[in-house]
């Protein structure tokens, strides 16, 4: 009987110990699992369970294996994000991810360059750039037609086309905005339209005027023409020849030769331009100077055509009664050559700033209206731009950019 009681006591003790051990083990296991889940939820993987102790070693190994799997997945996701980010930075399309509160979740380098800003953290940063640009970023939505916005940055006037699509990242809904610079496309279409118009007009005018000029000169050769008729014929002849000369000047817009490019130092070209316009500048009391903000600016272009542009800009400044004409050149972070031609002459009115590059438009009584239009066309053929970047009572600035 005593033996039975002893055996029963031992069994009860063993069962009790097993139950207590199970409860203790179960509690530790739950705490370990809860700790790991909390850490993973907080994206914290800087933990590891002890695998040296005999007690619970297998379970700890299992938890550490799960932790390693999560860590590996995280690194793979990070690498994929880097890869896609690098890929998006090399596309010519600006990509911006806008969150519901206006915060910017992602912005590629192309978008920053097009918008002309160094960093982009919130959509309200677009307000100083352009109110219309800010409004367009807010209104463009998925399924709507392609929207356009125009604004100015260091390259001049920029026109972009925007589209948007919605996406869900976790619980948050975002708007992915993609946009492209269509300024060159618009300018090219405008140039082609003007060229076609000019070709048609010059053809028709020349066909009409040339016979008149020829016939009036032939009639002047007759000896029996009285003085009154001779005076009239002479007027017709001179007017016809003047109109022919005028039309011929516009034909230059449709006959610009392809640039013959070579490398040369910009400083030498500008010094030559200053010498060629020196007499006219001195007579008007103007002084023209050149400053290089980057050392030894080397340009690869058609030297004759760029000289033509620079002379035109300097002469325009002199005709605007400028007393100081400053030419500066530098190479920016994008390896683009930036040339600014500024003067303190009469400012260009707001109404005229967009029209001055249009053929036929001129603010001068004896102007033909082709100088700036031709200059911009030459720059476009050099894969560059020519823009009026500012004009007020202090100075007027034209900017040439060679990309």
Q: What is the CATH number of the domain that holds 328?
A: 3.30.565.10
Instruction: Report, as an integer, the average pLDDT of 346-373.
Output: 73
- Are 146 and 194 found together in one domain? no
User: What tens digit of pLDDT does each residue of 162-187 get?
Assistant: 888 888 777 788 888 888 887 766 66
- Are 109 and 136 found together in one domain? yes
The pLDDT-based confidence of 14 (bands split at 50, 70, 90) is very low
CA-to-CA distance for 225 and 219, rounded, in angstroms? 8
- Predicted local confidence at residue 20, as pLDDT: 45
Residue 239 predicted with pLDDT over 80: no
- Are 340 and 229 found together in one domain? no
Range of the domain at 215: 186-254
More confident residue, 9 or 33: 33
Among 181, 211, 234, give the residue marking a domain's end. 181
Q: How many domains does the chain have?
A: 4
Contact 151, 129 (CB under 8 A): yes
Among 63, 86, 109, give the residue marking a domain's end. 86
CA-to-CA distance for 142 and 163, rounded, in angstroms? 7
The phi, psi pair for 325, rounded to 5°, reads -120, 120
pTM: 0.53
For the ranges 66-80, 250-264, 318-332, the one whose mean pLDDT is highest: 318-332
CA-to-CA distance for 394 and 364, rounded, in angstroms? 21
- Are 388 and 293 found together in one domain? yes
- Are 329 and 380 found together in one domain? yes
More confident residue, 333 or 88: 333
Contact 359, 369 (CB under 8 A): yes
- Are 309 and 390 found together in one domain? yes
Residue 283 predicted with pLDDT over 90: yes
CA-to-CA distance for 67 and 344, rounded, in angstroms? 69
- Are 80 and 14 found together in one domain? yes
User: What tens digit of pLDDT does each residue of 35-65 get?
Assistant: 777 777 777 777 777 777 766 777 778 877 8
- Predicted local confidence at residue 365, as pLDDT: 54
Concatenated DSSP letters for 367-380? --S-HHHHHHHHHH
Helix (H, G, I), strand (E, B) or coil at 198: helix
- Predicted local confidence at residue 253, as pLDDT: 58
Residue 189 predicted with pLDDT over 70: no
- Are 81 and 100 found together in one domain? no
- Are 238 and 299 found together in one domain? no
Q: State the average pLDDT for the chain.
A: 79
Q: For 107-116, 231-240, 326-335, which range has the lowest pLDDT when averaged over its residues? A: 231-240
């Amino acid at each position: 009987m005593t033996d039975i009681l002893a055996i029963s006591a031992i069994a009860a003790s063993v069962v009790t110990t097993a139950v207590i051990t199970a409860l203790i083990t179960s509690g530790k296991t739950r705490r370990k699992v809860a700790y790991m889940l909390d850490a993973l939820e907080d994206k914290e993987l800087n933990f590891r369970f002890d695998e040296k102790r005999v007690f619970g070693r297998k379970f700890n190994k299992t938890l550490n294996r799960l932790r390693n799997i999560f860590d590996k997945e995280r690194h793979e996701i990070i690498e994929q994000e880097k890869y896609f980010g690098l890929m998006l930075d090399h596309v010519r399309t600006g990509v911006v991810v806008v969150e519901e509160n206006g915060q910017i979740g992602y912005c590629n380098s192309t978008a920053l360059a097009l918008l002309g800003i160094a960093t982009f953290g919130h959509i309200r940063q677009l307000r100083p750039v352009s109110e219309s640009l800010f409004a367009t970023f807010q209104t463009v939505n998925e399924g709507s037609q392609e929207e356009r916005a125009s604004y100015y940055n260091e390259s001049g006037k920029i026109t972009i086309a925007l589209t948007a699509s919605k996406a869900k990242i976790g619980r948050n809904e975002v708007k992915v905005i993609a946009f492209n610079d269509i300024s060159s496309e618009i300018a090219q279409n405008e140039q082609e339209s003007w060229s076609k118009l000019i070709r048609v007009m010059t053809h028709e005018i020349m066909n009409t005027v040339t016979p008149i000029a020829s016939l009036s000169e032939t009639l002047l050769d007759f000896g029996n023409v009285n003085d009154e008729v001779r005076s009239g014929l002479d007027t017709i002849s001179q007017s016809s020849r003047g109109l022919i000369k005028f039309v011929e000047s516009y034909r230059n817009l449709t006959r610009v030769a392809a640039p013959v490019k070579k490398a040369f130092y910009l400083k030498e070209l500008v010094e030559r331009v200053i010498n060629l316009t020196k007499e006219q500048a001195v007579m008007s009391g103007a002084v023209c100077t050149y400053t290089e903000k980057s050392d030894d600016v080397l340009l690869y272009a058609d030297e004759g055509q760029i000289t033509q542009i620079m002379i035109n800009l300097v002469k325009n400044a002199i005709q605007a009664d400028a007393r100081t004409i400053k030419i500066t050149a530098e190479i920016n972070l994008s390896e683009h050559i930036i040339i600014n031609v500024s003067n303190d002459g009469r400012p260009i009115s707001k109404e005229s700033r967009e029209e001055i590059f249009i053929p036929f438009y001129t603010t001068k009584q004896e102007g033909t209206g082709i100088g700036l239009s031709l200059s911009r066309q030459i720059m476009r053929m050099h894969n560059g731009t020519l823009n009026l970047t500012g004009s007020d009572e202090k100075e007027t600035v034209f900017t040439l950019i060679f990309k």
